Amino acid sequence: MSPKHHPPEEILIDYATGALDLHARLVVAGHVGVCPLCRRDVDVLNAVGGTLVAELPPVALADDALPRALARIERPQPAQAARLKPPGDWIRVPEPVLAAAERHRRWAAPGVWVAPVTGRPGRARSYLLGIAAGMKVPRHTHRGTEFVCVLKGAYVDQDQRHAPGDFALNDDSVVHQPTITGDSECVCLISATNRLVPRDWVGALFQPFVGI
């Protein structure tokens, strides 16, 4: 089933031009990988980028550029690391996300696990968050901008259901308390520019353990 919640077009443009930071890029890639509509827009933007680059005035290369390239193609290719297999019930995600899920997963609180993917806590970063069925995320808002892509399961936020592949953008205009729905855990890939700001004492207690 196709996702129902999409990134705004200007985010897809930042994705196609390469202007998104790596953390946000991974989240958008997760959505684009399963969303035919956004995939199509990214294809259009890539074609535009390719044509704009093709129309640039060529710049002279170093004198030995071609011989160097021809020598380099003769060298054996570096061995490719074996591709990790995604958990069968996740949407497909970029490779670094799978690697993080395998190596860095830790329980943060009962029913809640986190796996840092890129960046560092307190700074721009991305991480996986798994929350057991039926749980509520403590009420909170955001200091910067947060992108979310659901990889598995579903949550409800302000009457909207977010299922696998769905994208969400949260910032300081949003104070929310997403609730896991359905009978499986919900796993999300999240990028953030800053820490969450807890809005009640439960959240304040919860945050140090989860490290988000």
Query: By the criterion CB under 8 A, which residues form the site for other proteins?
Result: 2, 8-10, 12-14, 16-20, 22, 25-26, 29-30, 32-34, 36-37, 39-41, 43-62, 64-74, 77, 80, 92-96
Nearer to other proteins, 4 or 40 (CB): 40
The CA distances from residue 102 to 18, 84, 97, 111, in Å, are 27, 9, 9, 18
Which is nearer to other proteins, 29 or 180 (by Cβ)?
A: 29
Q: Minimum distance from CB of 38 to other proteins (Å)?
A: 11
Instruction: Give the shortest CB-124-to-other proteins separation in angstroms.
Output: 12
Interatomic CA distance for residues 38 and 36, integer angstroms: 6
> Do 140 and 192 touch, CB atoms closer than 8 A?
no
Q: How far is the CB of 91 from other proteins (least distance, A)?
A: 8
9-17 and 22-34 helices, crossing angle to 10°: 110
Give dist(CA 111, CA 28) in Å, integer: 26
Q: Which DSSP helix (H) or strand (E) runs through 201? A: helix 201-210
Complex with other proteins: residue 124 or 202, whichever CB lies closer? 124
Query: For other proteins, which is the closer residue by CB, 9 or 200?
Result: 9
CA distances from 142 to 41, 88, 111, 173 (A): 28, 32, 22, 8
C-beta of 57: minimal distance to other proteins in Å? Answer: 6
SS3 category, 30: helix
**What is the closest distance, in whole angstroms, from the C-beta atom of residue 142 to other proteins in the complex?**
16
Give the residue with the Cβ less far from other proteins, 2 or 160. 2
| Cβ atoms 149, 31 nearer than 8 A | yes
Asked if 101 and 87 count as a contact pair (C-beta separation under 8 A), the reply is: yes
User: Which CB, 41 or 157, lies closer to other proteins?
Assistant: 41
Q: How far is the CB of 128 from other proteins (least distance, A)?
A: 15
